[in-house]
Structure 1
Amino acid sequence: MNGVGHGQHALLTVDLVVLTVRDDQLQVVLIERGKDPFRGRLALPGGFVRSNEDIDEAAVRELAEEAGLDGRQLHLEQLRTYATPGRDPRGRVASVAYLALAPDLPIPVAGTDARNARWAPIDSVIDRPNALAFDHDRILADGVERARAKLEYTTLATAFCLPTFTISDLRRVYEVVWSTTIDARNFHRKVVNAENFLTPTGGKRASEVGRPAALYRAGGATVLYPPMLRSSAAHAGDVAG
């Protein structure tokens, strides 16, 4: 994180939960801190908001500086604000956390005060006490839960897909993010019938086994109707509608 001026009663930072599906796993960008406090510890990318800077602009800048990622190409939304006293040993610091999602992201490149940047499988970090610096364990858990919840009622799953994708690609996103198995036939029926969720491209992708698979792109809808519920997927191997 960048240095700050003195004499301020409270300081403002941004922290970023950047998620993608890599190697058939839900993964997050982590950086190794190059400065105190928590030098050498893993943390989410982020930093202080400059005095003349919009918060959204700060989030995009920090993604570029600390992980070499272009935030303008990602789905980027505010998660929540974290301002518990004592969360940062440098003083009273509030953080606006962001959730960022995208498909097929490159290996992150560390910059500024980050010594290293990497993708880490969620399962290797989440629910491990004090795995990350500051209160980033809590921020990461909240970001993952936000992504999982929004897959139920919104079309956010397509943010994890390339511009064109198959139904199998989309189903695998749900399975990886939710850590469950979903019935392929029922899933296909639900998503193709969901209002303006997917748009057929007319193209197909050849496969080594079976017939070529139809290609789709994201439709114009942002709300998923009917919704798909994790409880049904987890307990019955199906999606609810």
Structure 2
Amino acid sequence: MTTILVTGGTGTLGRLVAERLRGDGHEVRVLSRKAEPYAVDLREGGPALDRAVDGADVIVHCASSPRGGDEEAARNLIAAARRAGVPHLVYISIVGVDRVPFGYYKAKLAVERLIEESGLGWTVLRTTQFHEFVHDILRTFAKSPVMPLPAGLDDQPIEVSEVAGRLAELAVGPPAGRVPVMGGPEVRTFRDLARAYLRAEGRRRAVVSVPLAGKTYRAFRAGGHLAPEQAVGKGTFEEFLARR
């Protein structure tokens, strides 16, 4: 039996990774800021983090925040893993972190580099955005009578349970470095995704395309966050909406 620490283990992805690993018979430790007995703020580190890491065979690092602190958290986690002699660190990243100059993406790329240079055995998996992320964006846009969408933007959402399954596989295997990315089954326009969302919610909104400016928007429009050549996901956005 393998002892596996899942950071962010109460989150959208981490919870499913922990469930999958437990179902496969592994001992799983769930680390998050409030989940006892491994309640740790990775940005602060300290003895509680050392206790969580001690004796772990693998760490699956799912904890992340668009509000900042990912690099500091990764440094603390890597340092604790080194002290404990953890042989394998698995990290979930995002397709396009090296192509889209978005602040959160830059932080994820910086964490990748910290892990690659850590001296630990490591595996990094990049995926396209989860269905949940696209759903939440569209729900926000739909709050007004007119639904504004960034013009010319596509997305390729993926089913989070499929990503969790792949991470669980990687966690029980040897360090693999950078593995092939996972993309959702379809590249879709944001307008098309918005129509699917409105149908599922039984709502009517005028959808208006809004052109934006800047390097980040141009990189998204160019498809820097997409992986059409790796459309390995199965679950569609409509299937996700139907389950909600």
TM-score (structure 1 length as normaliser): 0.31
Query: Which structure features the higher share of strand residues?
Result: 1
* TM-score normalised per structure 2: 0.31
Structure with the bigger percentage of helix: 2
